[in-house]
Amino acid sequence: MRRYYYVSEDLNAVEQAENDLLAAGITEPQIHVLSQQDAEVEKRHLHEVNPFAKLDVLHSGLRGALIGLLLAAGVLLTGWVFNAESSLDWLPFVFLAIAVFGFATWEGGFYGIQVSSEEYKRFALVLERGCHVLMVDATPQQKQVIDKILAYHAALEPAGEGAARPEWVIASQRNFHSFVKAMP
């Protein structure tokens, strides 16, 4: 799957395009709207980007976990260098390794809360001008349908493509929404 980006100054055009895509069989978990006018997007019931997706929490948290893993390995290596033999000798090193790993992961996530994600940075100037970004995750077969539909929406300009979320994530979201609707 690939993610296709379209930019428009008119939120009405984005809303109409999303409705047309939904009518053509593109599912809601495949469509996202990135805008600085979150209240207006929510008011129109558009599928907005998750607020955490605008931040670099996951990427920075994983980077922190990797650093924590290296530091924890260093702590355990220190225990080995000092010839810790019994489980009682290893206990402080193991607890310190766990604490160092947890702290580095937490610190990475904390840093990520303060930084915008790469996808958000990519469109920061466009968003500051008041434009809206329509993002559609699609297979190559669906791309042809998207092109036909969006050809009728002159207010939407193609703005490139990128890596999409894995197909299993989208399928999981679709199944979860079906489950929620089926429950009383």
Domain at 2-51+119-182: CATH code = 3.30.70
Under 8 Å CB-to-CB from 6, ≥6 apart: which residues? 17, 133, 134, 135, 136, 150, 156, 157, 158, 159
What mean pLDDT is predicted for residues 17-25?
92
Query: For residues 5, 10, 12 and 13, what is the CA-based torsion angle, rounded to 10 degrees?
Result: -50
Please report which residue ranges of 82-133 form alpha helices under DSSP H: 87-113, 118-122, 124-128
| Chain centroid to CA 9 | 23
Q: Which residue has the higher pLDDT, 168 or 111?
A: 111
Cα Rg of the chain (Å, integer): 22
What mean pLDDT is predicted for residues 147-161?
90
Q: What is the pLDDT of residues 94-120, one digit of tens each?
A: 999 999 999 999 999 999 999 998 888
> Does the pLDDT value for residue 20 go beyond 90?
yes
pLDDT at 129: 92
Q: For residue 45, give the amino acid letter.
A: H
